[in-house]
Amino acid sequence: MNYKSFALSLILSILASGSFAQQQEPKVYTIEELFTLAEENSQQLQVSRAGIEIADQRREVAKTQKRPSLSANLTGSYIGNARILDTKLNEVASVDMPHFGNSFAVQASQVIFKGGAINKGIEAAALNQQVAQLTFEKNRADIKLLLVGRYADMYRLLNQRETYERNIDLAKLRLQNIQNLYKEGMLTRNDVIRSELQITNLNMALQEVNNNLTIANQQLGQIVGVPASTFIVPDSSFIQTLPQVQNYDTYLAQALNDFPDIKAGQVNTEIAQKNLEIAKADRLPTISLQAGNSTIRPITSSNPVMDMYSQGWNAGVGINFNISSLYNAKHTIGVAKAQEVQQQELLTLQRQNLENEVNSAFIKHNEARERSKSFEHGVRLANENYRIVEKKYLANLALLADMLDATNAKLDAELQKANADANIIYTYYQLERLAGNL
């Protein structure tokens, strides 16, 4: 296949089809261009970016625990006259009171020791921020791999489309020759009917491919945010310029070091360790500095009551120790320890699963390359067989069944070659994603 002219032939083929020509405009996109569009327009990535922002804000919230706590209180009130009652609750006298009362108080405190819980909380929030970033990177890699899958589908389906159209043209030409031979009495009506039936089946298969192209293009366009009126055509040089893969050990080492899930697992293990340290800090006292100032009117502690302001201030050190934590905290610590062990086991499981995925993707990629080479040879053999059988058939030395078998073998070989090429694309990028390179 001439890959340099493949994209042009696909575009011309699409333009020649009324179902596409009336509704969509073909446009060639490289996979890198689609990657860029996806990063700008993917709704999934927008959600992930919002997750990063949330994690950033939560870290800032955690930092506020290191800052002083400052509060102010202002009140105004109406004070009624005081009533003096005897032991039988009978009124003895009434004392006039200043009717307007107000107070203003300012209180400040600063925690200076909490067993390291505040610092560990801030560190845990920073680690959660890293997890959010790694989640974004994983989602971005997943989106890119999804794009490659849809891109490869488009490539495969457009190859199938071209293959079916080429075989329909050949079938129509053969039908014309059969009709001429039938008119001359050299063939039966059955040969004409079977040839017409083959063309009908090929047209139905072509229609199915066109429908699948419409579906794949809609899904691909939605991911990258291109208008619905655009028909995305893969760059034909994509398969031709695909880099060679590295060896298995290199991919495995890169995956274990750089795959976002592994990095996130390592960070989650650190978070579990921080949570354990925070749980242990519950057994320690909280020490804080405190200071305050208050202004109150009227002065009700004197007799008679004075309609004046009383101002006072205070400063000191506060110690708070939850004694029940001595016997209750062990349960919280037990949960934190169990979560730490669970996270470590989960990380080990993730590494095992990743190793299996890399091994499978590496084998499948090499298999796809071998299948492509094999099917390329098969296409040459099928074309040669078709040419020989067609000559024999036109010379009345072969049956129509032999001709149809040769046609089907040729069609199958061409479709298998297109599928193998698409699998090369997909499995290569699957390896790149597992290695953390997408």
**What is d(CA 294, CA 71) in angstroms, rounded to the nearest whole number?**
12
In the chain, the domains with their CATH numbers are 3-68+115-284+327-434 (1.20.1600.10)
Q: What angle do CA 343, 345, 348 make, to 5 degrees?
A: 110
Which pLDDT belongs to residue 242?
A: 62
CA dihedral (411, 414, 416, 418) positive or negative = negative
Which pLDDT belongs to residue 23?
A: 62
**Which tokens go with 281?**
């800090």
**What is d(CA 97, CA 82) in angstroms, rounded to the nearest whole number?**
7
C-beta of residue 332 within 8 angstroms of C-beta of residue 282: yes
**Which tokens go with 97?**
């009171």
Which pLDDT belongs to residue 241?
A: 64
Which pLDDT belongs to residue 359?
A: 92
Q: What angle do CA 165, 409, 379 make, to 5 degrees?
A: 80
Strand-pair category, 230-234 with 25-29? parallel
Residues ≥6 apart with Cβ < 8 Å to 369: 424
SS (H, E, C) 226-245: CCCCEEEEECCHHHHCCCCC
Which pLDDT belongs to residue 2?
A: 45
Which pLDDT belongs to residue 240?
A: 67
Amino acid identity of 311? Q
Which pLDDT belongs to residue 19?
A: 46
The list of the chain residues with pLDDT below 50 reads 1-12, 14-22
Can you give the length of the chain in residues?
A: 438
Q: How far is CA 180 from the centre of its chain?
A: 60
